[in-house]
Amino acid sequence: MKQSDLEELIDCLPSGRSLYTYGKDWYAIELLKYQITQPTRIQQLRESRFGKLMQKPKVRQWLGALGGSTIAPQDINLIYPEEAETFRLAVDSFDGWIQTTRKNKQCWNLVLQLNLNESDARFLDQYNVLRENDPFEWLCHPVSRSRHRTLAWARIDLDWESGEVLIEEIQNDRIREAKSLLHSAKKHGDGQTFKRWGTEYPVKFFEEYWNKHIQPLSRFWDEAMLSATLKFIREELGLRSIFYHTPLSGSAYKGESAQDAPKSIYTKLPQKFCFELTDQRPCFAPKVHRKIPHAHFLHLQL
């Protein structure tokens, strides 16, 4: 997008606190809600591209309790996430033409941040972790500068005329850095403290943060981020044709920097969400100049 278009869009979006609650595998319920807008035969769902969602234990348990062969929209509202975590959503902008599909003046992306809650903020306050010197994030990335730190983010490009959206990336610093710093603190620290960004922290700080706050979220952070992103695109932006990069298309459009991303984020994760490989590309994506065969995208129509 152009910077002016992005700024106008952000001004139109809701401001203030926006909460998002997620539990493991909850994405299956979120996706099924968009398919069950009227009484729908279960067999019809099983035979659709969303049929594999019906195999999730939570969905199977729900279907068994319902009985019958048809699902009504109000039926799915009876399900709720278990062992859920509540996040704070926020939007931001990103200008990084090397890491975006479109270049030059159209290289701006909309960012959706999945930010942590008050429990996380209070824990970091106990150890006087300064906001501008957080050991678990990189300031060059589109992370929140507020009291509530960013667990993960999604970068989005879109075109209003075609109604198409491209998810450029889904990424996190905090999980990777928390795990890595705990390992380094145990291996290279003096047994009591470990220095990060010029500040010394007790080794037990890294142990507590990983074990109690971050490791539980590492099981489903990617699901939560993509699920929140799809809900945001469908319900806030009102768009339904969603493209997602594959490892090859990311490399073709964004260069070698895209090759460092975990491949599962661009293969296993979108496959779980029923994205399918397509020969089409977003209408605003330029033709690829780099000679990379089969640089297909993934696509989901919600």
Nearest to 212, CA basis, from 173, 182, 190, 170: 182
CA distances from 302 to 81, 148, 259 (A): 21, 31, 28
pLDDT value at residue 98: 79
Give the CA distances from residue 269 to residues 26, 165, 226, 264, in Å, rounded to whole numbers and listed in that order: 14, 18, 8, 6
Contact 247, 271 (CB under 8 A): no
CA separation for the pair 167, 286 (Å, rounded): 15
Separation CA 167–CA 56 (nearest Å): 25
The amino acid present at 62, given as its one-letter code, is W
- Helix or strand or coil: residue 53? helix
Cβ distance 165 to 243 under 8 Å? yes
* Strand 297-301, strand 70-71: pairing: unpaired
Q: Which pLDDT does position 259 carry in this prediction? A: 63
Q: Are 300 and 53 in contact (CB under 8 A)?
A: no
Give dist(CA 157, CA 165) in Å, integer. 6
Cβ 88 vs Cβ 117: under 8 Å: yes
pLDDT beneath 50, residues of the chain:
none
Of 121, 85, 119, nearest in space to 217 by CA: 85
Tokens for 140, please give them: 């060059």
Residue 208 burial class via C-beta count within 10 angstroms: exposed 0-12, middle 13-18, buried 19 and up: middle
pLDDT tens, residue by residue, 166-201: 999 999 999 999 999 999 998 886 779 999 988 999
How confident is the model at residue 77, as a pLDDT? Answer: 83
pLDDT (0 to 100) of residue 187: 85
Q: What pLDDT score was predicted for residue 40?
A: 93
The whole-model pTM stands at 0.94
